[in-house]
Amino acid sequence: MKRKLMNGNQAAALAVKLARVQVVSAYPITPQTTIVEDLADMWARGTFPGEYVSVESEYSAMAYLIGAAYAGARSFTATSCQGLAYMHELLHWASGARLPIVMVNVNRSMGAPWSLEPDQTDSLSQRDTGWIQIYCADVQEILDTILLSFRLAEESRIPCMVVYDGFSLSHTYEAVEPPEQEQVDAFLPLPPGEAAINPSNPQNIQAVTDSRYLSRVRQELHLTMEKVPEAIKKMENEFYKIFGRSYPLVESIGLDDAETVIVTAGSMGQTVKSVLPSLSSVHSKKGFLRFRLFRPLPDEDIAALLGNAQIKKVLVIDRNLSAGAGGIFAQELSALLQGTSFQGEIFQLNLSGGVDLTPDLLNKALEKIEGAEKSRDKIIWGVDL
């Protein structure tokens, strides 16, 4: 198969085209803009046959898709930081209405002050909106995950957010194997052929409810979410058969005998993976774990990987911050390890604001935790090292 050099945003736009998306509505925001520019370009040249609408705000972009998805159309948008936050109430609406919308969020720091750096707090702030969230580590994964997301969203009727870092993935070129249209069509069913609504079948959709009814709606959402990890595994098997690639829910290396485990998400996983062999030569044996699926939380998979008595220390690298509580992945991890046979200590390296993870920085952080016994209440700030 021919490999092509493309950046994360180009890969995303290509995936949307291959997925035969029917309605795209979008609003530009750095570093996502080139996705919608690419789609607009394809649309203008007639190579993207779906509807493309350039709306006046991210809020309307998501509202537009809610409408299109009510009608039954396969729909997509992309955004970043402030734009995602501006959509916030609509994200709840989309999941409550079980609309299978797929959205790319390219991580960027939330203002103030203004910044373009790839902080993850924008998407992690949407943790409780009822969306599936998948964090990607490289350009190929972006393309493949978007294709998977449409199938996942449509089968679960839960909207899906594909997340990756601004610039370090969105604008970074990597060699990618672009799938053929026939392959995609074999994996992803063709989009709906007729409208989901019809005036001759009167319905009152998302009308005012009482608490018990609403609680059932929420319960249904949760119960479906719980089935998502297994569903992804099955889909990845099919994906592998067609494309020759697949991705685990949680990526891990060397956890069988590691004493220290480095946990992260997104493109930082690439950095950690590449320096892992050199890190292991110093002091203790190192392992690696990357959150890929974040919502639903694959807690059983992670517990199985880390619920291991020989692991003494875990360093969670968070390029995000819940001020007053610390890194968000670290919190999630410590909560899910409760009640497992994990007996180690959890340390945090916080890179919020989008601080770049260099091998040097990682080494310094590892040195800091090497001598420490308990450091649970202390965050190692990347900016201090």
- Distance (Å, whole) CA 249 – CA 373: 31
Select 4 or 92, whichever has its Cβ closest to other proteins: 92
- Distance (Å, whole) CA 159 – CA 149: 9
Select 25 or 123, whichever has its Cβ closest to other proteins: 25
Residue 298 found at the interface with other proteins (CB under 8 A) = no
Residue 211 found at the interface with other proteins (CB under 8 A) = no
Select 68 or 188, whichever has its Cβ closest to other proteins: 68
Residue 18 found at the interface with other proteins (CB under 8 A) = no
Select 204 or 338, whichever has its Cβ closest to other proteins: 204
- Distance (Å, whole) CA 318 – CA 289: 13
Residue 251 found at the interface with other proteins (CB under 8 A) = no
Residue 64 found at the interface with other proteins (CB under 8 A) = yes
Phi, psi of 262 (to 5 degrees): -100, 125
Strands 345-350 and 379-381: parallel
Strands 132-135 and 293-295: antiparallel
Name the one range near other proteins by CB under 8 A: 94-102, 238-246, 262-270, 302-310. Answer: 94-102
Residue 29 found at the interface with other proteins (CB under 8 A) = no
Name the one range near other proteins by CB under 8 A: 35-43, 103-111, 140-148, 206-214. Answer: 206-214
Task: Tell me the three state secondary structure of residue 336.
Answer: helix
Amino acid at 101: I
What are residue 260's DSSP bridge partners?
Answer: 286, 313
Considering only residues 223, 339, 374, 377, which one is a binding residue for other proteins as defined by CB under 8 A? 223
Residue 77 tokens read as 């948008």
First to last CA, the chain: 44
Name the one range near other proteins by CB under 8 A: 48-56, 127-135, 274-282, 296-304. Answer: 48-56
285 within 8 A of 254, measured Cβ to Cβ:
yes
HSE-up (13 A, CA, CB side) for residue 68 = 25
Residue 157 found at the interface with other proteins (CB under 8 A) = yes
Select 66 or 380, whichever has its Cβ closest to other proteins: 66
Considering only residues 4, 28, 41, 51, which one is a binding residue for other proteins as defined by CB under 8 A? 51
Residue 209 found at the interface with other proteins (CB under 8 A) = yes
Residue 224 found at the interface with other proteins (CB under 8 A) = yes
DSSP per-residue letters across 173-194: EEEE-PPPHHHHHHHSPPPPSS
Select 89 or 367, whichever has its Cβ closest to other proteins: 89
Residue 51 tokens read as 């509807």
Q: Which residues of this chain interact with other proteins, rule CB under 8 A?
A: 22-23, 25, 50-51, 53-57, 59-61, 63-73, 75, 89-90, 93, 96-98, 155-157, 192-195, 197-210, 213, 216-217, 219-221, 223-224, 227-228, 231
